[in-house]
Structure 1
């Protein structure tokens, strides 16, 4: 059995684009998502295997490992957009966001650490431009994604030279989780203009970087937080 590239959040804009890009390059992939109808449709289209699992559920990793034992790379393309002023934030908001973005990623990495080590594998995680730039009402998600950035550099040091770990920090991307914000056309246009490149991100933008980082093309890159944000983090 060949080693697979494991994509969590495979029905999202970035995850689904990454699946297409890896598959078109001849890589063996396995998709993981919670929506069975959507993930099965994508898997059937690409001719690959999949697991239906919700990373918020206890022991979800055992379900995935029952289907895939050997991996060459893991892309954790799972995220959320939790926007609230601090006065409205509850501890449970932080707990759910940290579980989704950080704790479950840690469980996945622990579950596949030995396989990744044996196969000289690669891990790609996802942060956000808001972890480094200050945006109103972003306390929950920015805190969770900043933790992902800390995890990235820590694990890159701990796992070297056997496993590479990198992180992509996108700005707002056209996706299902961004729909509540982007359905307001005036707001969407304003956010797009806030980027030096004057547009919102597309799933393929971050997916292309993820494909590079997860594959042997980036064999001398580890411990990096790479912005795919239309220049927003540095130029605006």
Structure 2
């Protein structure tokens, strides 16, 4: 399947947290370690493959002084995977999200290691006429040399947990169903959750309830933030 216009560059991430080798702990042992670290605090230290080799990855809220570094992360990651033109488009989208979106309508989260940003995700508000508290996840990037280690999935789960605590009811995204199903998203039709624009690839329209309830049909129109308000992205 070709990439959806709002698709993400971390689609090669996998659930694998460990590399090869008998010296590393079993899945059950790692799960136990991860459970200890999954304390709901502002800075989340994640025990993963790199942590076992002496490095520590941290997941945290995006900070405004990260803007230039995170924009470059998206440009380079998408350039590596999709070409220079796509890198420029996604970099501009990230810049517009950061510079033009009201903070109440915008969340960003980053993964850092050795004080370098290695991954980033953004959520921006999706407004429905019925008042459903909803955000859209897009875009997502994990630095090319850090992919295939589950970082994108961990970062998304971290962000979803934070949004849930803020009372967000629904999160949608537009991307690869195979990847996003690993973090709880399921396909929905445009009739069930109306997107702001007609979708070029409706099979990539995905949603997740953060309340534990079934996803219900939403009537009426939806509206995105200005940075995404371009039919070419959809």
| Normalised TM-score (structure 2) | 0.28
| Normalised TM-score (structure 1) | 0.27
